[in-house]
Structure 1
Amino acid sequence: MAFDLKRADDAPGCRMTERPEDCTIVIFGASGDLSSRKLFPALSRLFEVGGLPGNFAIVGTARTQMSTDEFREKVRSWLEASGNLASMDWNVFAPRLSYQALEYDAPASYQELRGAIESAETQLGLPGNRMFYLAIPPTLYESVSGMLGVAGLARKKSKELWTRIVVEKPFGRDLDSSRVLDAAMHEHFEEEQIFRIDHYLAKETVQNVLLFRFANSVFEPVWNRNFVDYVSILAAEELGVEHRAGYYEEAGVLRDMFQNHMMQLLAMAAMEPPSVFRAREVLDEKTKLYRSLRPFDPAKGFGQLVLGQYAASEDGSKIGYRQEPGVSPKSNTPTFAMLKTYVDNWRWQGVPFYICSGKRMERKITRIVVQFKEVPHSIYRDIVGEHVQANRLLMEVYPNETINLTLQAKKSGEGFCLRTATMSFNFKDGYEGPPLDSYEKVILDCMLGDHMLFWRQDGVELSWTYLTPILQMCEQCETMDENLKFYPAGSWGPRDANMIHLNYLKDLLINERRRA
């Protein structure tokens, strides 16, 4: 089913965009894992629903030596494995694919790549708009962006045609390295050409957090310190480190999840309303939020932070992190973290924010919980007691893209007993069009030049500025063996998390019984 990018039939005033201009998409690391699992399935899906330009070319490049025919066959196998092949016109898509092998540190190799790009553009009659997607290790970002500039592929000053470069997180490994990377990229690319992807932002529920907050007058007046008891942001992952041990040993959960995904979820939940829903204004408000974070106090240290690492499961079916291939048997790399923080501004003063993420947990859940305060005076105290259960708002990103609000109501019958009722909204209800997953959405926005769902460098630096004291404390701690709490793979993390956030398990398990 094709879908109209210009206008949605059921919402003529909604913020939709025109179809992207004709362009060439160049994917670095085209033979790698990210390309096979995410990028080419996303590109094929966009092609199927009419989200790609009317005329386009996809040029793959990587160290792997292969011909264009071999590359096309490889892409075909990826799409067949993802289930996308049967629903698309492969005979139309395949001729737009080509391949050029590349040595990432060889200038002459980039001239060969330039020739391959220009050849594809000439063959298909393309104008020369280009998007470079770096699906490669972050350690190569600096050299590849520099080589593109030296080869004349950056076109920093071009006004007739656009050139964009897309990088995945992490954007450096600390504040200093992020600044070095940024300076290197800006040597050949303007800020408006750089797209720093955080695919969490392209998830439907995450985008709907702002709409829910700022398009409903019922909630905005109570979205502050006067009515909110705490906010909990949770991202539990069922998988372990898998094949990423080399990267994860260097990153850990704080660099892998907190500096990017968790900070973005925090901003969506706590930022002030922008004056207009436009990329610059939205990014400005996120930046203001990061500036308002109360600096981490190393003196309080592990009174604000719980770190954990998964051990073997209780039944022995899952190995521990230290037994994973490529992981040191004495590794102190955390795979779980819970952080208690505050936003020092008028809206949120004194309200704790609990940010939590971990690997090898019982199941994959991503959600934002807003716990409201109890009613100030219970008129039912002689009947049901002093405490009436407070309202709770649950915005679930995964697995169920829903928003649930708990309310108190009377149980049916002669007695006077309260029960918790739930008002629920599912984002998929009533929508019959083809949904875009997160990678489809970010690729589309890159082609359109829309920075709304991407990081800006000042936000990246402020995020690293906040996390740097935490990282330094963890890396310089002489008693890390004592402060790293082990938890069984397949559990809900270390029990010590409840010392920081007494409602931790409650926030994880809310609505699980109802769903079951």
Structure 2
Amino acid sequence: MSTTSNPLRDPRDKRLPRVAGPCVLVLFGVTGDLSRKKLLPAIYDLANRGLLPPGFSLVGFARRDWDHQDFRQIAYESVKEHARTPFREEVWKHLSEGMHFVPGEFSDPGAFDALAMAVKELDQTRGTGGNYAFYLSIPPKFFPQVVEQLQRSGLAEHDDDSAWRRVVIEKPFGHDLTSAKELNDTVHRVFPEESIFRIDHYLGKETVQNILALRFANTMFEPIWNRSFVDHVQITMAEDIGIGGRAGYYDGIGAARDVIQNHLLQLLALTAMEEPTSFSAEAVRAEKAKILSSVRVADDPAQATARGQYAAGWQGGVAVKGYLNEDGIPPDSRTETYAAIKLEIDNRRWAGVPFYMRTGKRLSRRVTEVAMIFQAAPHLPFSQTDTEELGENALVMRVQPDEGITVRFGSKVPGTSMEIRDVNMDFAYGESFTESSPEAYERLLLDVLIGDPPLFPRQEEVELSWQILDPVTEYWASQPKLDQYKSGGYGPRSADELMARDGRAWRRL
């Protein structure tokens, strides 16, 4: 379809981006926070940018006694509050005409039969061509049930070879290697691998994709991107919030399963992998799988890991309660809210270079970054006094919230003496580009509708990630001790001790 024929396309946008073809997106769990705050606004933003076809249709499925107009009103409120792009009435009017709602329980075959009738009617009235994407924005325990209902109702099958069916599954994909394999078997009985999109929203972030651009679109970094120059790598995802209303999901899952198994190991893979032959899904995924298969916990988990739970403290000048006092959390919970792991990669490029990963809630500030710390110069022809304020060279890829890249290096301080001090050279997205970065879910939803999977982990990557993490969580399960750390601080003492054993320290949050 020509982009110029799309009545929703913003005429100010002169580029020719990828545009989805005719299709229906069925959104399960449409009443949840993810749908209201991220998915529905992202759908509107895609429409506002002219990237959805005129006949695009959205069907919400949830356990609510709503009619179509109720659903449209909820979507309208979500879009007005959370959309990234300016609200345009003509775009909303056209988009809302294709919004429908089907009430029902996941266990009710009749509800799925009604859903099948609804999407077939949209094929006739909206010209959606029998192309359906099913987005499972629901708790993981319901994944198998919904997938089986899609098969029973015939929604997962298509008679026309030109039509497609796709299913989108939110993390976590299992809670360990065994459960991940079981879930994969269930989904594969209904959908082929090329139709399964395991979504990790971090991979849709511009700054995460920029890791690949930084590495493979420039010649200046490749010669030093290896063990000969790199001392170690730190990958951090720190949050300044608690669990909020997620007690039912978070307790029993914890920081390692919630963040390290997916987000941080994906960042590691993009940072450490070899150059793919192309940016095709097969080539990128193959290199990521190679690197993940070489990753291992560096030492005995007692020496190479740390974990903790946030206690009461102060955050932004406000007193906050500890994890064990959060609503819905058992007083004897041993779920970690902070996790740190030291990993190594057994290949020629990275042998001997430790990768330190950490994530935690209720820390001093919110930041996600990949920091490559370089080795010290082998010889300094300066006095110790001249260089006492000189640290290590570093390349820091900032994912959020201050998106960009920082290079830290030593420079002479103006004056008559040869005093050398660290300085930073910064690239910031907001200063270098006039267009703001799209939300991760915009990119990923469009990729689903187009059928472009490079940014979606395949099953092999999921299983390799669990193979790395399972020995850690099994060790933790056998240990009664769980360090407490004050809210608003930098994490448990055991995490600092992990780095100190190697003569290193975490970057300051």
- For Structure 1 versus Structure 2, the TM-score category normalised by the shorter chain is over 0.9
Q: Which amino acid aligns with 2:153?
A: A
1:258 and 2:260 matched = yes
- Shift in Å, 1:264: 0.5
Deviation, structure 1 residue 387: 9.2
Confirm whether residue 34 of structure 1 aligns to residue 17 of structure 2.
no
Moved more, 491-500 or 377-386: 377-386
> Structure 1 residues 4 and 438, CA, compared in 2 at 3 Å: closer, same or farther?
farther
Report the more deviating stretch, 20-29 or 423-432: 423-432
Q: Which residue of 1 aligns with 2:4?
A: none
Tell me how far apart the structure 1 counterparts of residues 241 and 130 of structure 2 sit (CA, whole Å): 41
In the TM superposition, what whole-angstrom CA distance separates every residue of 1:261-311 from its partner, at most 9, and x where no partner exists? 1111111111111122211111101101111012565xx222111101000
Shift of 1:389: 3.2
Which residue of structure 1 lines up, in the alignment, with residue 488 of structure 2? 490
Once residues 72 and 150 of structure 2 are traced to their aligned partners in structure 1, the CA distance between those partners, rounded to angstroms, is 25
In structure 2, C-alpha distance between the alignment counterparts of 1:504 and 1:167, rounded to whole Å: 39
Write the distance in 1 (CA, Å) between the matches of 2:335 and 2:256.
Answer: 10
Instruction: Return closer, same or farther for 1:225/1:323 CA change in 2, 3 Å cut-off.
Output: same
How far off its partner does 1:354 sit?
Answer: 0.5
Deviation for aligned residue 1:115: 0.6
Distance in 2, Cα, partners of 1:439 & 1:221: 34
Matches within 5 A, 1:49-448: 49-82=49-82, 87-89=87-89, 90-155=92-157, 159-295=161-297, 300-313=300-313, 317-381=319-383, 384=386, 389-433=391-435, 435-448=437-450
Structure 1 residues 196 and 6: CA distance shift in structure 2, 3 A = farther
Q: Say which is worse superposed, 433-442 or 448-457, in terms of deviation.
A: 433-442
SS at match of 2:134: strand
Q: Answer with 98-107 or 88-97: which moved more.
A: 88-97
In structure 1, distance between residues paired with 2:84 and 2:408: 39
1:411-468 deviation per Cα after TM superposition (whole angstroms, max 9, x unaligned):
1121211122222111233423353111111101111111111110001011111111
Q: Distance in 1 between matches of 2:80 and 2:366?
A: 26
SS in 2 for 1:53: coil
1:152 aligns to what SS in structure 2?
A: coil
Structure-1 separation of matches of 2:301 and 2:190: 41
Alignment partner of 2:258: what SS? helix
Query: Equivalents in 2 of 1:504, 1:205: separation in Å?
Result: 27
Name the CA distance, whole Å, in 2 between partners of 1:460 and 1:497.
26
Q: Deviations over 1:190-214 (max 9, x none)?
A: 1010000000011111100111011
State the percentage of identical aligned residues.
38
Cα 1:3–1:457 shift into 2, 3 Å: farther
The question of whether the paired residues in 1 share the 8 Å contact of 2:10 and 2:50 is answered with yes
Give the counterpart letter for 2:321 in structure 1: I
Q: For residues 392 and 5 of structure 1, do their structure 2 counterparts lie closer, same or farther at Cα, with a shift above 3 Å needed? A: farther
Q: 1:262 to 1:442 in 2, by over 3 A?
A: same
SS in 2 for 1:403: strand
Decide whether aligned partners of structure 1 residues 2 and 238 sit closer, same or farther in structure 2, where only a CA change above 3 A counts. farther
For residue 5 of structure 2, what is the aligned residue in structure 1?
none
Gap runs ≥5 in structure 1: 9-15, 510-516
2:479 matches 1:507: no
Indicate conservation of the 8 Å contact 2:25/2:134, yes or no: yes
The answer for unaligned runs of 5 or more in structure 2 is 1-7
Deviation (angstroms), 1:126: 2.2
- SS of residue matched to 2:309: strand
Aligned residues of 2:202 and 2:440 also touching (Cα < 8 A)? yes
Judge conservation of contact 1:156–1:189 (CA < 8 Å) in 2. no
Kindly indicate whether the alpha-carbon contact (under 8 Å) linking 1:142 and 1:184 is maintained by their aligned counterparts in 2: yes
Deviation at 1:219? 0.7
- 1:157 shift after superposition: 7.4
CA contact (8 A) 2:207 2:404 kept: yes
Deviates more, 1:432-441 or 1:316-325: 432-441
Contact (CA 8 Å) 2:394, 2:408: kept in 1 or not?
A: yes
TM-score w.r.t. the length of structure 2 is 0.93
Note closer, same or farther for the CA distance 1:17–1:149 as it changes in structure 2 (3 Å cut).
Answer: farther
Aligned residues: 496
Distance 1:321 1:504 in 2: 29
Structure 1 length-normalised TM: 0.91
The amino acid that maps onto 1:37 is K
What is the aligned partner in structure 1 of residue 462 from structure 2?
460
**Alpha-carbon offset, residue 499 of structure 1:** 1.1
277-286 or 493-502, larger mean C-alpha shift:
493-502
Q: Secondary structure at the match of 1:429?
A: helix
Superposed CA RMSD = 2.2
AA in 2 matched with 1:495: R
Give distance in 1, aligned partners of 2:166 and 2:13: 22
Map of 1:513 onto structure 2: none
Residues 65-102 of structure 1 show CA distances to partners (whole Å, capped at 9, x for unaligned) of 21111111111122222256961222222211110012
Please, which moves more after superposition, 281-290 or 426-435?
426-435
Comparing 87-96 and 317-326, the one that deviates more: 87-96
